Structure 1
Amino acid sequence: MTTNTGQMGSLPRGGAIFCTIPDILYLPELVFGGLVLSLVGSTSIEPNNPQAYVISVAIFCFIMTFFWLLIFACGSHRNRSFWASADVAYHGFAALLYLSASVLLAFITILISIQYGNNLLTYKQDVAAVVFSFFTTLLYVIHTIFSAIRWKSF
C-alpha cells in the first residue's frame, strides 16, 4: 500500500527521494537556505550585530540538510525506525533554529532601517533575507510534519 508520503513502512532510497512528499523538500530547503546565507553574508556585519547567529544557523542547516540528503540518496539508512525518528528530530530542530534566526533577523532589519535609513540597498537585502528565512522555516516545518506522519506509519 502506498501513501502520499511514500511506501508504507519504508524509507525511500536513491532517486525515489525526489518522488516522496517530505523528501522532495530537500532541494527547496537547500536553495532558499543558500539564498538566506548569501543575502545575510553580503551585508555588513558589525561586531555587536546578531546577524552572525543567522549566518551560523544558515551554514549549519545547509550542511546538515545536504548531508541528510546524501544519506537518503545513497541508501545508507538501514534501521528504518531510527532514521525515520532522526529525520523528524533533525527537521524539527532545524525549523526551531530557523524560526529563532528569522525573528532575530526581522528585529535587526527593523533596527538597521531606523539607524541607517539612507542605506537602501542593505535594507532591501535584509528584507529579502527575512522573507526567504521565514519561507525556509516554513519548508522545514512542513518537512517535519510529513516526516512525523511517515514516522507514525512504522
Structure 2
Amino acid sequence: MNEMRSSPDRALPVTPFGSLISRRILIPSERTNLVAIDKYFLVQLLGAHVSRIRFDEGWYFWKYPDIMKAVEDGKVDTARDHYIADGYYEHRMPYQITVDEGWYLHQYPDVSAAVQRTEFESAQMHFETAGFREGRDPYAGFSLEYGEPQYA
C-alpha cells in the first residue's frame, strides 16, 4: 500500500506534483480542469482548515450518540477528533445551525412543497435531515463559523 495512504495521521510530505500523479494520489481529468484526489490526502490537506470550524462537543454527542459511544469505547479519542478526521466528510454538523425558515422555504420551493405535504415538519427539520448533506444553505450568506484553532 502506498505510504501516503497508509495513515491519515501522518505528516504530509512535500512531494512533486508529478509524483502525486504517478502514485495515483491525484488523477487529473484529460478533458476538464477537475482532479480526482485520494481521500486521505484530501483529509490531510483540509485538516488545518477543518480544525478551525467552531465545534460544540455537547451538541455533537447529543446529535450523534454513535460518536459518544465510540469515544466511550475508546474507538476515537474525542468528538472533535472524529469531526476533523471523519465527521466533516460524513456531512455531520459541528454545532446547531438555525435555519431562516422564510428564506429557506423561498429559496428551495421543493422543500416548501415537501413541508406543505407534511413530509417534513419544518425547514429546520429538512435542513437537519437532508439539506445540510445536500449542500443547501440555511440562510443567506451561510458559512460554517470558525472557532478557536485546534490542531491535533
TM-score using structure 2 length: 0.30
**Which protein shows a greater Rg?**
2
Give the structure with the larger helix fraction. 1
Ranked by relative contact order (alpha carbons within 8 Å, sequence separation 6 or more), the top structure is: 1
